[in-house]
Copies of this chain bind each other. A is one copy, B any other.
């Protein structure tokens, strides 16, 4: 997987995005949002409440969308554009957040960087190997960040585990496991009228781990991916595809075209990644079979492990015998960001993680701190999808 982030690229991080450049920039950050649908509305809401950020403009091909979002959040006076180029030309913008439909982040992110703007993109950053390569190239050439907004990295448990890893509680890290295990056909695949939504179109033609970043994001941080280790190769296996046909049969009838057609995506995809330093990662993609939501989040080292499915931890010499403990006894590892922001984050999206993520990223820019998630993460986490497709199509062949 040297497709995107070779160590030679990662080594450039500090020079490219060093403290001096960032802290020279305006302390009050002017944001523009591209794409104001469901996710973009959340960007509107959170950005309008940030202390050190101004929502300077938005852009959507359908201007009714921003109007709805503004009304919902009682916002007035923010200019609306239907063309990103025009917006970037006319408005003074520091950062562009990209919340266009899920497969369409690459183009606006690239346009924004080319216009000299830093970019925060929703996941995935790109859907092809070439797209991931090009994001890295554009970011390096323009000297502009392409931060992937992987909010799962800011979950309270994920950050507590990260803090434990940094303090050596697990010893040397060995393994991570995570899964996007989320039955979401009703929300994402079909509309109520029997048409395929964008996710449905993807699942009809692609077979692999199509949505890897929620799973791999926190694991990548725990294992220091692109900060001392990097992905080496992956193998990926998909099982049979049943869920979409069964759902369509139940909701649209046995003779509906959506029931009778074929879908490429296997209901359960499992992908293994080996890192250059000898760690392993197991990733699940499991969205088409009815099940409770479970991201797994296993972080394992030579001295113990956290198991997110159980929300339990075991640390040799601290846990009694070989029994699991709750996280309550480990409150000294609460991540400083959560200690500082938990109260203010209450009631915002994803248990507060969305708020904390954006606060943190803006704070990084203000203080010249290198952001937690960069273009190499954006590329490496996103490229798992197309590489897993290659592997699945070749009986689990390993792909570098």
A interface list, Cβ under 8 A from B: 171-172, 174-175, 183, 233-235, 237-240, 242-243, 246, 266-268, 270, 272, 274, 277-280, 282, 286, 289-293, 300-305, 307, 309-310, 314, 316, 322-324, 395-398
Instruction: Tell me, in angstroms, the Cα distance from A310 to B181 when the chains sit together.
Output: 15
Instruction: Tell me, in angstroms, the Cα distance from A300 to B239 when the chains sit together.
Output: 12
7 closest A-B pairs (Cβ-Cβ)?
A240-B278, A290-B316, A239-B280, A396-B398, A235-B396, A235-B235, A175-B268
Distance (whole angstroms) from the CB of A286 to the closest CB of chain B = 8
Instruction: Tell me, in angstroms, the Cα distance from A88 to B52 when the chains sit together.
Output: 86
Tell me whether chain A's interface is mostly helix, strand or loop, or mixed.
Answer: loop
B292 x A246 contact (CB < 8 A): no
Residues from chain B with Cβ under 8 Å of A303 in the complex: 290
Residue of A171, A274, A304, A397 most packed against chain B (CB within 10 A): A274
A-B contact pairs, 19 of them (CB 8 A): A171-B246, A174-B267, A174-B268, A174-B289, A175-B286, A233-B395, A235-B272, A235-B396, A239-B278, A268-B280, A270-B280, A291-B304, A291-B314, A292-B314, A292-B324, A293-B322, A307-B309, A395-B398, A398-B398
B289 x A396 contact (CB < 8 A): no
B233 x A235 contact (CB < 8 A): no
B174 x A242 contact (CB < 8 A): yes
Instruction: Tell me, in angstroms, the Cα distance from A223 to B395 when the chains sit together.
Output: 20
A290 x B314 contact (CB < 8 A): yes
Residues from chain B with Cβ under 8 Å of A268 in the complex: 174-175, 280, 300
Beyond A183-B322, A242-B302, A272-B272, 15 additional contacts (C-beta under 8 Å) are A174-B267, A174-B268, A174-B289, A175-B268, A235-B398, A238-B280, A239-B274, A239-B279, A268-B300, A290-B302, A290-B304, A291-B300, A293-B322, A307-B309, A310-B310
Residues from chain B with Cβ under 8 Å of A239 in the complex: 174-175, 274, 278-280
Residues from chain B with Cβ under 8 Å of A395 in the complex: 233, 274, 398
Q: Which of chain B's residues has its CB closest to A242's CB?
A: B302
Q: A289-B300, A322-B183 are in contact. Are A237 and B274 (CB under 8 A)?
A: yes
Q: Which of chain B's residues has its CB closest to A278's CB?
A: B240
B270 x A272 contact (CB < 8 A): yes
A323 touches which of B277, B279, B280, B292 (Cβ 8 Å): B292
Instruction: Tell me, in angstroms, the Cα distance from A270 to B240 when the chains sit together.
Output: 21
Instruction: Tell me, in angstroms, the Cα distance from A242 to B278 when the chains sit together.
Output: 11
